[in-house]
Amino acid sequence: MLEKKQTKEMSHIVGTFLVSANGAFLNGAGIDTSGEDRTSVIPKQFSNGKYRVPYVSAQAWRRWLRDTLIEETEWPKSTLHAIKQSERGTTSKIAGELNPIDYPEDDLFGYMRSEEGQGRTKKAEEESSGEEESSGEETQQRIKVKALIRASPFMSSILVSLRKFGWKGKDEGFVHLEEGTPVPYSTVFYNTNLQAIFGLDMTRAGVFRNVGDRIELREELIKPGTESGKLKEREKDIYELSDSNAAKIRAGELLHAISILRGGAKQAAFATDVSPKVLILAGLDCGNLILNNIFEDNPDQASHDGPNIKVETLKEIAADYADRLVTPIYIGIRKGYLNLENEKTIRTLANGDSRFVVDTPINITKAFVSKHLGYDRDKTAQ
């Protein structure tokens, strides 16, 4: 029988945010091959069944986030190394440090080192399986095929446009040469707001499970880790960082990096500020990403009004998930960005209602991290 959780501890931090991408080109899809000329670059788009909608890959904005995190914290960067060479001496496999003990980036974002030769070992195992159930030698052979995979405790969706149509702009340019005719080129960009959802599994931050076919922590790190006191075995094959605050500090810094996110393609030409203009955070005792589809585009695209937060949806979420929410819902908004009426309504949400906290994106992150993770970034920096 399955056990029901008795305690109400924060197991996940979930959130959503909105980036203002007016006159932006943040993630390219290469040359537009639909027309006759081959001089236009286009941003990534998908079909929602009716329209072509622009988006930014999760891979792309996770890279922005990783870079922001490392720049802000000055933590050691999990740089890419060659881990295997081909017979000709060229690199055939690469990976980061694969060390979540000393590299918080590896801990938070995960990694994978696939192993070749699994089939060969498996074949040997099958040939011998007819003789005996399982011999010690066979067990040793099996251990050789371990693939090192740590699924990311921080999970993120794509950054998708709120605006389904009417987002497209085209920047026509020419490269003028000293001699000859100018060379034309153009860039399709977007005028929209991009939303993403994310979740951080706090039960996995700083915890490494070598269970099933997922070996999260390299065996050669376990002994030095435990001897140096950085690592301890929680239970069989499950390890955790000895410093119980380490995971909270890592999570706190990650949330801080989201609140000041920077990055994106073509910054020289489009200079887009990708730091969230709206950031909503909450702590839960489960992994359901309840903060989704919170934003809507301003239906009147001719007006200068910004997007809306769906206030009634937020209230409904706060009521429906009251028994799952461990923290208030923190709503960070940049002044003058949302529809003005909508902004006023959001600011009054926190009046007398302890279920909501409203401030700027950076301030709500600081407050959340300080109150619910016990980590005060400003004090630590002093």
Partner 1 sequence: MDKLIHATIRGITATFRIPLIVSGKSLCAPVPSYSTLLGFIGCCAGREVYPDEVRIGFEYRFGEGTSGAGLGVDMETTHRFELKDDRLRPHPKGTSIRFYEFHAYPVLELYLDNMDFFDILMQPAGIPTFGRSQDLAWIERVEKVDVEQKPSGKVCTTLMPFPQEAVGGRMLRLPEFFDNKKTGVTRDPMNIRLFQVIPTGSIIVNPNLYHVKTDEDDDHVIYLHKWAGIDGKE
Residues that bind partner 1 (CB under 8 A): 1-2, 4-5, 11-12, 14, 29-30, 44-50, 53, 55, 57-59, 80-82, 85, 89-91, 94, 110, 118, 122, 142-143, 145-147, 151-152, 155-158, 160, 197-199, 201, 203, 210-213, 215, 237, 285-290, 292, 324
Q: With contact defined as beta carbons under 8 Å apart, do 158 and 125 qualify?
A: no
Instruction: For Cα atoms 192, 196, 197, give the angle at the middle one, nearest 5 degrees.
Output: 155
The rounded Cα 270 to chain-centroid distance in angstroms is 23
Nearer Cβ to partner 1, position 215 or 358?
215
Nearest distance from residue 222's CB to partner 1, in Å?
A: 14
* CB of 258 vs partner 1, minimal distance in Å: 15
Q: Which is nearer to partner 1, 286 or 367 (CB)?
A: 286
C-beta closer to partner 1: residue 160 or 269: 160
What is the per-residue DSSP string for 73-120? H-PPP---EEEEE-TTS-EEEEE----TTT-HHHHHH-EEE--TTHHH
Distance in Å, CB of 90 to partner 1, minimum: 5
Between 37 and 316, whose beta carbon lies closer to partner 1?
316
CB of 121 to partner 1, least distance (A): 9
CB of 314 to partner 1, least distance (A): 15
Integer Cα distance of 102 and 80 in angstroms = 15
- Our CB check for partner 1 shows the closer of 15 and 343 to be 15
The tokens for 204 are 């996995």
Token couple for 178: 């000293």
Closest CA to 292 of 167, 158, 164: 158
Identity of residue 281: L
Q: How far is the CB of 48 from partner 1 (least distance, A)?
A: 5
CA distance 150 to 192: 35
Identity of the residue, 197 or 257, whose beta carbon is nearer to partner 1 in the bound complex: 197
